[in-house]
Amino acid sequence: MTERLAILAGNGALPVELAAAHPHALCVVFDGVAHRLTGAVQTHRFERLGEMFAALREQGVTRIVMAGSMSRPPLDPTALDPLMVSLAPRLMAAMQGGDDALLRLVIAIIEEQGFAVLGAHALLANLTAAPGLLAGPEPAETDRSDMARGAAILAALSPHDVGQGCVVAGGLVLGVETLQGTEFMLDAVARTNPHLRRGQKGVFIKAAKTGQDLRVDMPAIGPDTVAQAQAAGLAGIAIQAGRVMILERERTLAALAAAGMFLIAEEFEALS
């Protein structure tokens, strides 16, 4: 018998793509967490993880993929089931750290319950990219220099659980992605005084943090990223080959072509 897959979904296009590619998968969401799924969906409370895991086992689920953006849900201490009561000290400790610490704990909990945790990139073809130019014109030498500087900056920040992206123009760092996310950073770049850019458009560099568990937190770009990068006046986007997802790939590449921007996948020696 085929081992059943469950898609633990947050917001965004990725859970929708996964559900379309795996129509027999069970789609699961947490109560109060936004999502775009339109088919049959099971809703569970985060406070009652034990009940959720039991329900998944009863339905033959052995594999779980987590996909989509998911804010940390508020916890009602009075609603905790026995499993969550036992996990509460570990969860509270992890929530004091960065997202990586919390996600590593979530993976550990799922695996302790007997499920295999898969990455979306293992379930969808062409979700990441091999090294090479994917769209738009070849980057100029100044762009390539900015890409290398951006990769070095992300490598330096990586041990501190900060940033999956930055913008560099003419060697100057115009923005670093922090807890507020990509959109916040690119909006700040768009509002930066043009004279600070030394006449250069700049490049958005997106990469995974060193040691990041890509099964649940692989960086991603999509059509919205392209629109935000275009509004910020950037020349293009550089992503880490094999370690950044391209969501809604056809729409993303078409948007880049229409904007005259490049998208290139690089191995980034600084991050290897």
Q: What is the mean pLDDT of residues 135-142?
A: 96
Bridge partners (DSSP) listed for residue 70: none
Asked whether the beta carbons of 132 and 188 are under 8 A apart, the reply is no
**Would you call 105 exposed, middle or buried from its count of C-beta atoms within 10 A (0-12, 13-18, 19+)?**
middle
Spatial distance between the Cα atoms of 160 and 99, rounded to a whole number of angstroms: 11
Find the largest Cα–Cα distance for the chain: 63
* pLDDT at residue 136, as a whole number: 96
How does pLDDT run across 92-111, given as a tens digit for each residue? 887 776 667 777 888 999 99
Residue 1 pLDDT grade (very low, low, confident, very high; cuts 50, 70, 90): very low
pLDDT tens digit sequence for 143-162:
999 999 999 999 999 888 78
State the amino acid at position 173 in one-letter form. Answer: V
Q: What does CATH list as the number for 132-271?
A: 3.40.140.80
Between 55-59, 91-95, 181-185, 258-262, the lowest mean confidence (pLDDT) is in: 91-95
Sorted by where each begins, the domain ranges of the chain are: 4-122, 132-271
Contact at 8 Å (CB) between 266 and 151? yes
For domain 4-122, say whether CATH 3.40.50.920 is its number: no
CATH topology agreement for domains 4-122 and 132-271: no
pLDDT of residue 204: 98
- Comparing CA positions, the residue from 7, 20, 226, 221 lying closest to residue 129 is 221
* pLDDT number for residue 45: 92
pLDDT at 245: 95
What's the mean pLDDT in 40-56? Answer: 94
* pLDDT tens string 214-265: 888 899 999 999 999 999 999 999 999 999 999 999 999 999 999 999 999 9
- Once rounded to an integer, what is the mean pLDDT over residues 129-147? 96
Taking 90 as the threshold, does the pLDDT of residue 44 lie above it?
yes
Mean pLDDT of the chain: 91
Residue 272: exposed, middle, or buried by beta-carbon count in 10 A (0-12, 13-18, 19+)?
Answer: exposed
What does the block give as tokens for 111?
Answer: 């695996």
Nearest CA to 132 among 221, 208, 224, 239?
239
pLDDT at 72: 66
List, for residues 65-96, the tens digit of each pLDDT value.
999 988 766 778 889 999 999 998 888 887 77
What is this structure's pTM?
A: 0.87
